[in-house]
Amino acid sequence: MTHTPARRLRAGLTAASAVALTLLVPGTAGAATGTPLTPTDLLNGGRPCATDPADPAVLHDSPYGGFSVSGTTHHSDPSVWQLDEEFAYWPTADPAQVGTVVRHGARPGSSTTTYLPTLPDGQGYTWQARTVDPATGAASDWSAPCHLTADNTAPATKPTVTSSNYPENQWTAGGSPVRFTFTANGTADAVAFRYTWPAGQSGTVQADAPGGSATVDLVPPAGTEGPTLFRVQSVDRAGNSSSPSDYQLLILRTSPTVTKTSHSPMFGKPATFRLTPDPGVQAASPVVSYTVTNTTTYETTTVPAAPDGTAELTLVLKSPRGDSLEVTSTSANGWTSSLARWSEGIDTTPTVTSAEYPAESYGGAAGAPGTFHFAPKIKGAQITSYTYRFGWSAEWTTVPAGPHGEADISWTPPAGDWYVLESYATTKDGIELSHGEYYFAVN
């Protein structure tokens, strides 16, 4: 990118060239070859070229400094793959103060962007672009002029925020969109309002007029409950944002009720649930579905709701240690409730008994063998083996289970002391059940 400062360009101006500078209009350059074609798709800061000097694009500096302008170069010869794009710019109030920026290596048919110097607020630029063939020096006609005005000053006044159905800092039943009204609060050039929910969800709503207001119905993010900080900023024509105004919502819980209606104590069997909506949510807008996530298996199911907002769900509870569910309801108006949680633990540890060495008690003697009996806690669990060890540092041993899922082992304590027998069962499907601990003492 090459900049030609205005003072250097002016030093070489003759009377004829000064006249030429005031005639940077289509048709005055590049007519000799006509090979490079006039740039198209001119943009000011990503917005379409403003061709009316009385209605310029209002821009603020880009993150890279200055104002971004761009255009798409063209050439009549499809074999040409590299061009230059030249931008001429001047203060709108002083057309003699012309500077240029050249972007080398522009690809025909691709947009090329450059940056004009920063201007004081309220000052305007006018600029044009043309395509230059670096191989021949031929140049296209200049484009039509584009106009922009600088505005790097953020609105000085925060907007006002009110809600007709969710008063600030008052606990309110959820289920309905929040009706907000934003006003510019004296900022004459505020044309929009930018809002942000917690966790970064955001959006923009246009004002009804510059310096005006906007009323909008917004559904809070899924699962919103409790204190919720809503933030709003005014946005001017250049995209500058004001300081934020905060609005504190206090939303009561809207979670549904989850009830297990079947008796299925064993894992791997189907269980039936009834899902019932929060009454306030259902009254505000009918619940149309539920989303159910098993947080143990990470499986998610969507269930349609009946007209009364309820739903029936059958799930296979797969964890041998018990399952946990998280459930939300979704209403016709888009409201997603806060979470309902359901959990049920299952004890699948082996049942361990010993006549010689009873649990949590003294028995037997050092060097005296004892029999330990393993049995399943859950009927029909189809246990095929038990794995055990005496002491947490010992090696594991596995023994087969009998036809009723039971097994006996014999073990001789080496000394009088407290011991722990750790064990678990394995099913015919190869599922390892929960580990259990059996404590006993040797006389």
* Domain boundary, last residue among 194, 229, 251: 251
User: Is 394 part of a structural domain of the chain?
Assistant: yes
With a pLDDT cut of 90, the percent of the chain lying above it is 75
Q: Are 119 and 186 part of one and the same domain?
A: no
Write down the pLDDT at residue 346. Answer: 84
Write down the pLDDT at residue 34. Answer: 58
Q: Which residues of the chain have pLDDT under 50?
A: 2-32
Q: Are 288 and 409 part of one and the same domain?
A: no
Q: What are the two backbone dihedrals, phi and then psi, of residue 325, each rounded to the nearest 5 degrees?
A: -120, 145
Structural domain span for residue 145:
2-150
Q: Are 98 and 36 part of one and the same domain?
A: yes
Q: What is the largest CA-CA distance in the chain?
A: 120
* Domain boundary, last residue among 150, 177, 201: 150
Q: Are 111 and 182 part of one and the same domain?
A: no
* Domain boundary, last residue among 150, 176, 203: 150
CA-CA distance, 346 to 422, in Å (whole number)? 18
- pLDDT (tens digit per residue) in 304-324: 999 999 999 999 888 888 889
Write down the pLDDT at residue 431. Answer: 87
Q: Are 24 and 142 part of one and the same domain?
A: yes
Write down the pLDDT at residue 27. Answer: 35
CA-CA distance, 421 to 399, in Å (whole number)? 14
Q: Are 263 and 247 part of one and the same domain?
A: no
User: Is 155 part of a structural domain of the chain?
Assistant: no
User: Is 393 part of a structural domain of the chain?
Assistant: yes
Burial of 81 (0-12, 13-18, 19+ CB in 10 A): exposed
What are the structure tokens assigned to 183, written together? Answer: 């006003």
What are the structure tokens assigned to 252, written together? Answer: 């009561």
Q: Are 119 and 174 part of one and the same domain?
A: no
Q: Is the pTM of this model over 0.75?
A: no
What are the structure tokens assigned to 305, written together? Answer: 């709701």
With a pLDDT cut of 70, the percent of the chain lying above it is 92
* CB of 26 closer than 8 Å to CB of 40: no
User: Is 176 part of a structural domain of the chain?
Assistant: yes
Q: Are 301 and 399 part of one and the same domain?
A: no
Q: Which amino acid is at 59?
A: L
CA-CA distance, 155 to 227, in Å (whole number)? 28
- pLDDT (tens digit per residue) in 357-398: 999 999 999 999 999 999 998 877 789 999 999 998 899 999
For residue 370, how many other CB atoms are within 10 A of its CB? 19
Write down the pLDDT at residue 296. Answer: 86
Buried b or exposed e, range 29-59, using 16+ CB within 10 angstroms:
bbeeeebbbbbeebbbbeeebbeeeeebbbb
User: Is 407 part of a structural domain of the chain?
Assistant: yes
Q: Are 219 and 266 part of one and the same domain?
A: no
User: What would the DSSP string read from start to end of 20-35?
Assistant: HHTT-STTSSSTTT--
Burial of 369 (0-12, 13-18, 19+ CB in 10 A): exposed
> Looking at the 3D structure of the chain, how many domains does it have?
4
Please give the sequence-ordered ranges of beta strands (E in DSSP) within 117-187, or none if there are none. 124-132, 146-150, 160-163, 171-172, 178-183
- pLDDT (tens digit per residue) in 338-348: 999 999 888 89
User: Is 391 part of a structural domain of the chain?
Assistant: yes
User: Is 333 part of a structural domain of the chain?
Assistant: yes
Write down the pLDDT at residue 265. Answer: 63
CATH code for the domain in which residue 436 is found: 2.60.40.10
Q: Are 341 and 403 part of one and the same domain?
A: no
Q: Are 141 and 6 part of one and the same domain?
A: yes
In a 3-state reduction of DSSP, which class is residue 16?
A: helix
Angle at 289 between CA 268 and CA 261, to 5 degrees: 40
CA-CA distance, 268 to 284, in Å (whole number)? 38
Q: Are 340 and 358 part of one and the same domain?
A: no
